[in-house]
Structure 1
């Protein structure tokens, strides 16, 4: 009979199918227990959005049974703990990963992708916040069907000081803040850079977000002050670029990627929105391959998405019977895994010996 220690070594040497490093290096194996012919294995995933868990189960089961033919059954149990850099510590922002969603131009569905990304990660079991940083054209409140105004709450700091914070709106368990909650429906925002900087800083610093696995930030179209502000104040986990398949949209998406690179925000990848007969298919995937960045998935052009967005029912896209659920969740999984790969595959800094 093979010992638990030997089984542990066998499993630790297996490569994770998504990240490409073994379970021992990734510290994902949390326990191995044998009871007669049954072996129980505990695996801790780096995000609840991990796709294709059955591949891990199958690989572990095959390796254990090959190592010890006397094993009749292998039970693989999964847990998940989101890993992240906690980049908002200087603001008191307790978000493990902050993700910017941008585009080089308007009209490509950036806010729709940002909102569905937030709802999708929440559907997969994550704690998520959504910050609408499109100050000039805040559309998130309409898409989620929420008109209530954020309230002010008093909270106690660690030092015992009582301060006032903004309580974000809760929509189906998603925490949301937007300039749209503070404006009249027909009111325009005419601000220069300093006022934009202050508003974004308040959304980050003065909002009582609580503990978040992911904070999704919907950027305004184009390249400008807000992206620069975020790059200077937060260590973002990365940016998602949204575009449509046609060449004219891809030209502007490339500019957005260039902007993120210049301000040192990692590009997690490209999402192709509105894929189909009208705008074509595959343009974003080809551009991603050309630029050597990940392609996160495509979202087919679907009247149902537009209808639900107009009706303030974006969250209903994740109902079991909705045809858009699968491609949306695929994009969410890919975004989460790109962050996990950056954290887990990045080479560790050497330890310096102090003489």
Structure 2
């Protein structure tokens, strides 16, 4: 069967389709990979810039309509999807092969920041991404316990005279690094700022993280040296602010947002943790609107989060029968979307060569 158009024509036509998530033409986003015609059937391949893209059906319908409107003899159009996470290549200047480094912070302790950092890491992994988790809370490293990972990391020598630290690997394949692997459980870390800076630098420069789509950094509470150190070392993809709904927590969350703005780390949005009768509900959502930052979702108070965290079984929160799975997956998906949107806003969405 002959057509009045070529594969190149199809790419040009499909490129006019407006992406329902990013609200820009596919030609601008450069997500069209190829078009093919075989036995009268048309296939358009789109390379999505993140796992967890939420509107595939809508995008498929939009592409099919665009082609049908432009080419009356097009016939059946199939849209296939591949995924290649895009990013700022955070840390490329110091040798990191990580596309996006994301800080998870709060203005105060006790809001479940470490729990949320671990949950976002597992959620992004569940979506299909390659993920690492770095515990930067050196004064209270809780990540090793929550992920049931222990033991001093091994050293490797990938090339003569070059020593590297191999991260430990948690259930599900999440790579993990924490000061908790190097000190006894009951040993306090009493350091001044320069020692903290040195350790964080080593965790980033000397750890063999490998190629990752996302590296999640669990920040210490408050507004201290760590954010400044990270801003000097890396071009972070963004920061997630975790808070509980009550006013006293929101006051500190505002300070955390101000801190990240001052060190020029983009704020991806606010997560409301432990929503429910005890702390109330909706405070973080209202504050996000007030400050014109995205609201990334809420995690209701759920005993399973505490139980599995205490037992070192955070991965079980993502089992199909887990009540925590849906809200945590939603938050993780919004984080991934937030990273992609920040890239687009900054004009740094890497281009894709059309084959």
TM range (shorter): over 0.9
- Paired with 2:104 and 2:61, the residues of 1 have a C-alpha distance of 35
Matches within 5 A, 1:144-293: 144-156=147-159, 161-171=160-170, 172-293=172-293
Unaligned runs of 5+ in 2: 349-355
Q: Is the 8 A contact 1:45 1:78 kept in 2?
A: yes
> Does structure 2 conserve the Cα–Cα contact (< 8 Å) formed by 1:153 and 1:164?
yes
2:312 is aligned to 312
| Aligned equivalents of 1:49, 1:205: Cα separation in 2 | 29
Comparing 338-347 with 272-281, greater Cα deviation is found at 338-347
Provide the aligned C-alpha RMSD in A: 1.6
Structure 2 match to 1:19: 22
1:113 aligns with 2:116: yes
Query: Paired residue for 2:86?
Result: 83
Shift of 1:38: 2.4
- Give 1:347 shift: 4.0
Greater Cα shift, 133-142 or 88-97: 88-97
Moved more, 301-310 or 145-154: 145-154
CA distance in 1, matches of 2:29, 2:93: 28
- Tell me, in whole angstroms, the C-alpha distance in 2 between the residues paired with 1:88 and 1:284: 31
Give the number of equivalent residue pairs.
345
List alignment gaps of at least 5 residues for structure 1: 349-355
Distance 1:263 1:345 in 2: 18
SS at match of 2:81: strand
Normalised to the residue count of structure 2, the TM-score between the two structures is 0.93
Deviation at 1:6, TM superposition (A): 3.5
**Whole-angstrom CA distance in 2 between matches of 1:268 and 1:121:** 15
Describe the superposition over 1:32-78 as per-residue Cα deviations: whole angstroms up to 9, x where unpaired.
12235522110001112322322211222233333345444322111
Map of 1:338 onto structure 2: 338
Determine the structure 1 residue equivalent to 2:97: 94
Moved more, 182-191 or 69-78: 69-78
The equivalent residue for 1:352 is none
Give 1:82 deviation, angstroms.
Answer: 1.3
Q: Distance in 1 between matches of 2:285 and 2:9?
A: 44
**Kept in 2: contact 1:2–1:67 (CA 8 A):** no
Whole-Å separation in 2 of the counterparts to 1:38 and 1:327 = 39
Alignment deviations for residues 192-251 of structure 1 (CA, whole Å, 9 cap, x no partner): 101111111111111111111111000000000111111111111111000011111000
Counterpart CA distance in 2 for 1:202 and 1:228 is 15
Contact 2:16–2:66 (CA<8 Å) still a contact in 1? no
Mean alpha-carbon deviation: is it higher for 202-211 or for 34-43? 34-43
Instruction: Give the secondary-structure state (helix, strand or coil) at the position aligned to 1:142.
Output: helix
Kindly tell me: are residues 90 and 7 of structure 1, through their superposed partners in 2, closer, same or farther at Cα, counting changes over 3 Å?
closer
What is the CA–CA distance in structure 1 between the aligned matches of 2:316 and 2:55, rounded to whole Å?
24
Deviates more, 1:71-80 or 1:275-284: 71-80
Once residues 91 and 347 of structure 1 are traced to their aligned partners in structure 2, the CA distance between those partners, rounded to angstroms, is: 23
Range 72-81 or range 100-109, more displaced: 72-81
